[in-house]
Amino acid sequence: MGTDYSRDTIYVGGKWITPDSSAKLDVISPFTEEVFAKVPKVSRADVDTAVAAARQAFDHGPWPKMPVAERVAAIGRLRDIFAARQEDMAQAITAEMGSPITQSRTIQTTVPLMMMDEHSDLALNTVKWTELRQSPSGNALVRRQPKGVAALITPWNAPMMTVIQKLGPALMAGNTVVLKPASLAPLSAYLLAEFIDEAGFPEGVVNVITCDRGEAEYLALHPGVDKVTFTGSTGAGRHLAAKCGELLRPITLELGGKSAGIILDDADIPAAVEAMRLLSFRNSGQICTLKTRVLVSKKREAEVVEALAEMVKSMPVGDPLDEATHIGPMVSQKQRDNVEYYIDLGVKEGATLQAGGLGRPAGLNHGWFVQPTLFSGVDAESRLAQEEVFGPVLAVIAYEDEEDAIRIANNSVYGLSGSVFSQDVERAVSVADRIKTGVLEVNGSPFGFHAPFGGVKESGTGRESGWEGFEAYLELKSIGVPKDYADSIA
């Protein structure tokens, strides 16, 4: 850990300021298990200061009044600085939460750049900031205007992807923000604040603070906040949604998942199994959209299980800075203990262990590692099949026919993601249409950032990405105008 990541200040009002609180959060390396950085643990007074800065910037600053093109240009400057320092960001993410460095470079930091590009295109070419609607009942100018101050509460597993997914549309829409990253992964957010400062945003447009759950809730419910967006656990999301509901405060939630990868009988089995390397195991299994249930027909079950076992055993586990590593450590000891609990539970529930299992991977005497693990013969009603593990654990469930596969896929309290594999794309799309989930991929095909992303059921409410991702940060206003005026601007 050659880089000194520690911070004594927070980024508020366009300046690095000393917080009111002297408390610190320890940042612990998932690989060495040692504290390697400390960052401020802000108080409620610091939250008040950050919200006041964002409030001032929205109510009296230039940002919400700027033409959209100027706000997009500011994001463009941020994007260029981010790109120039992409390796710094990748290193910070790997250091703080253990993402394998190749994935930090290719997914954790490349995807945010793609998002900023596509957000910019949508803001300039797709979002209808003002439109004229004429009908026999009246003539209206429909405006889309920023909501105000947005609180962005983001998770540790994909820190920049989730931040940029929210930050881009929020800022381009004219809002100001207070960003509260996960306490387990705060370093990348502070690095982003450096980029924002260099990009020359007006004071108070973006504010970055770090705190524990109590202060995060205080932020979300603060009277100076107009909009909340949260990515994290279903339990925490449900709690925040109830509290925001009492205030009639809009909240976007992206929560847990237990997504199904359905392999139909006509699928290209080797291609489907290889796709699971990333669809089920990227970021060491710590991604909410991963396909952690693989559904396969009984007549092809043995073939698929054998191929999956070979794939799982082929993924090197180790130092996240080693470019050969596929599976890094879990983010924390608590997370490792939780994953090991579910591995033990799978054995107790009678599933067949095909690869991995309990015990530290060979040759690793430190780090919060678990072995990538594959179970077959998993009961669709079991806890292993129903509950989110959030680690490199894959459950294979056998189905009788296509109808049974759809039933099993939908037998979940979650509905975030999914995949269907078939050489008949039309058939795969037909099956995808019947899965109760927010997004799906056919044969692993990505849906991109021009499409809305989000979940149903206990996976969340609202959508991010696409032009729909801007709507969460906008208020609609209809202004009735005389017909001759409407005709003159039509």
* Residues tagged active-site: 254, 288
Torsion of the alpha carbons at 219, 221, 223 and 224, rounded to the nearest 10: 40
Q: What is the distance between the alpha carbons of residues 298 and 303, in angstroms, rounded to a whole number?
A: 10
Q: Which amino acid is at 32?
A: T
The residue to which tokens 């997004």 are assigned? 439
Q: What is the distance between the alpha carbons of residues 432 and 438, in angstroms, rounded to a whole number?
A: 10
Q: What is the distance between the alpha carbons of residues 265 and 431, in angstroms, rounded to a whole number?
A: 13
Which residues lie across from 176 on neighbouring strands? 149
Q: What is the distance between the alpha carbons of residues 451 and 445, in angstroms, rounded to a whole number?
A: 13
Contacts of 273 (CB under 8 A, 6+ apart): 304, 307, 308, 311
Radius of gyration of the chain (CA): 23
Q: Which amino acid is at 199?
A: A
